[in-house]
Amino acid sequence: MGKNPVCVLAQFKTTKALYHACERVRDEGYVKFDAHSPFPIHGLDRAMGLKPSKVPWIVLILGLLGAAGGMGMQLWMNGVDYPMIFSAKPYFSWQAYVPITFELGVLFGSAGAVFGMLGLNQLPRLNHPVFNSKAFSTHAADDGFFLSIETKDANYDEVRTSKLLEGLGALQVEHLKE
């Protein structure tokens, strides 16, 4: 465990309290914070001020690369590198290559979705400071609604941030170390 706290964790009683807390924290200018809830809460991404995900771009680019690679590979192999005649078709029979092109596009696209999502979420990781909280470990997957603010955030100030969270109706505020 490090010496300095890496994040401050606040527990809220209801989804509503968490939702409003997120709005306030967002409006106060915090960026490096996260909300933790046992189930999805409609509109929470807006309350947190999250930008649209970048995953679609990863999927698009990888999907197109996969499709281009699939078509290119077959054109090169059957047309250039080892020209072969299959069922009296020309060397460059793009029609025959469509299924593989499609499959590789989908494969790369979906791999981009999965690994892009994991990468952007910085997963997998073995542990996270929030798990050092007893309250978090017992309630986060059950009936607790949490908000964590990283101390790396430019707006973070030990006293002010704790006050802010307490003022928003947090049941308890903890400072967690690595």
39 binds other proteins (CB under 8 A): no
CA 66 remoteness from chain centre? 23
Q: How far is CA 47 from CA 41, 68, 72, 87, 119, in A?
A: 10, 40, 45, 60, 24
Q: What are 21's two structure tokens?
A: 């807390």
Instruction: Output the smallest distance, CB 100 to other proteins, in A.
Output: 12
In this complex, which beta carbon is closest to other proteins, that of residue 40 or of residue 124?
40
Please check whether residue 136 is in contact with residue 176, taking contact to mean a CB–CB distance below 8 angstroms: no
Binder to other proteins among 68, 73, 96, 117 (CB under 8 A)? 96
Place of tokens 């995900």: 53
For the segment 97-116, give every residue that binds other proteins (CB under 8 A). Answer: 98-99
Token pair for 100: 């593989």
Segment lying near other proteins (by CB under 8 A), choices 88-96, 131-139, 142-150, 159-167:
88-96
Residue 40 touching other proteins (CB under 8 A): yes
Helices (H) and strands (E) in the chain, counts: 6, 4
Could you say which of 42, 51, 125, 134 contacts other proteins (CB under 8 A)? 42
Alpha helix (H) ranges present in 15-174?
A: 15-27, 44-48, 55-76, 94-120, 134-139, 158-167
- Choose between 87 and 127: whose C-beta lies nearer to other proteins: 87
| Nearer to other proteins among residue 99 and residue 167 (C-beta) | 99
| 144, 172 contact by CB (below 8 A) | no
Residue selected from 52, 122, 124, 154 as contacting other proteins according to rule CB under 8 A? 52
Instruction: Give me the residues that bind other proteins (CB under 8 A), please.
Output: 40, 42-43, 52, 56, 60, 87-88, 95-96, 98-99
